[in-house]
Amino acid sequence: MRSSTTIKQYMKDAWPVLIVLNLSILGSLGIGLKFYTPPVRVPIVLLLVCCFTLFINFSAFVLFLTEKILPKEQEFGKIIKRFRRGDSRMQNYVLPLDYVDENYEIRGRCMTYNPIGGDFYNFLKDKDGNYWIGIGDTSGHGYVAGLFSLMIMNQMSHLVHKFETPHEIIDQMLEHLEERTNTFPHIHRSLYATFLLMKADNKGNFLHSGIHPSLVLYKSKEDKTYIVSTDGKFLSTVMNSPLKKPKPSQSFKMDRDDILFCFTDGLFEQKNRSIGGYYGENLYKFLETAPKKNIRKLIDDLFSDVVKHTGGRIQDDMSLLVVRKF
C-alpha cells in the first residue's frame, strides 16, 4: 500500500521530468537508428536502449525518494502548510494552548524535526495567582527526548504549587532526576535538557533561573529590544559542575505593552545549505523590525522567514514562546 502511494505521488509530482526524459531518449533513439550502420543487430540495440531507459527512470525515482529533484519552492510550500495547519504530533496534544487574560498574552509555537521532538514549553498559574512559564530543549530527537521533556513538564506543573522561586524548583527537578536514574539504571545519564523557568506576578515582576539561550525583551516605550541573559543549571545528572556555586533566581521587569521573546537554539541555528550561513543574527533583526501588534501573525511570519532561509528543510526542532504584558 505504501509503495503504490509513493509511486502515485512520484507520477503526480515528477510527470514533467518523466515526459522530457523519456521523449529525449526516444528522440535520440530515432535519430540514431536513422543513421545506424549495424555491426550489431537492431533487436539487440533496442534491448540495450530499453535497459538504459529503465536505468534512467529508476535513477530518477531514487532521486525523487531522496528529495533531490523536488523544487525548493515545493519543499518550502509543504513545510509552511505543515506548521500553519498544525501537525498531528505529540506536541499538539501536550503543549499548552495560547493563553490570554487581563495581565498577559502568552503564545507558543513548536516545529519538530522528527514526529516527536525534544523541544517543549509550558505555562500555568499557581494557587496564589503567579504565572509560571518554562521553555526547554532536550538533547537528541525522537521518543526518548520527547519522554524526557514530558517528565520535565510534569514536574514543573507539580512543583510550582510547592516552592516559591524558579531555582528551588530546578534543584528539586535535579533531585528527582537523580533518584529516577538510580531507580532505573537503564536511563541514559548522557540525556540532558536546557531549561528556563520564569515566575511572574500580575505587575510584571519576573524571576528566572536555568541555562538556556538569552531572552529578547522589547520595551514598548523606548521602541527598543534588550538581551536578557540566563544562568543556572542544566537538567542533567552529569552536566553540572559540583564546584559551581548555587545562584539565586535573577530578575527583570516588564511594563505595559512590553513583549518577551523566548526561543530554543534550533530557531537561530537553522542553516542555509547553499550559502552555509545560520539564521543567527537574522532572528534579532527580525524581532527588532517586525510589527508587534499581532503576536500570532508575528510568530507565523518569523517561522516563514526561518523556513525560507533553510530552503524548506529544517535541521532541528525549533520553538518560540512570546509573552506580552497588558
The domains found in the chain, sorted by start residue, are 1-84 (no CATH), 91-325 (3.60.40.10)
Q: Is the pLDDT of residue 212 over 60?
A: yes
Q: Is the pLDDT of residue 72 over 80?
A: no
pLDDT at 1: 41
pLDDT at 88: 47
More confident residue, 43 or 257: 257
Q: Is the pLDDT of residue 57 over 80?
A: no
State pLDDT tens for residues 25-41: 777 777 766 666 666 67
- How large is the C-alpha radius of gyration of the chain? 27
Q: Is the pLDDT of residue 320 over 80?
A: yes
SS3 111: strand
All residues at 6 or more sequence positions from 33 whose CB lies less than 8 Å from its CB, including other chains: 42, 45
Handedness of CA 64, 267, 191, 153 (dihedral sign): negative
pLDDT at 135: 97
Picking from 107, 121, 122, 113, the residue whose alpha carbon sits closest to that of residue 87 is: 113
State pLDDT tens for residues 105-156: 999 999 888 777 889 999 999 999 999 999 999 998 888 888 899 999 999 9
Question: What cell was used for 290?
Answer: 517586525
pLDDT at 154: 95
SS3 268: helix
The 8-class DSSP code of residue 8 comes to H
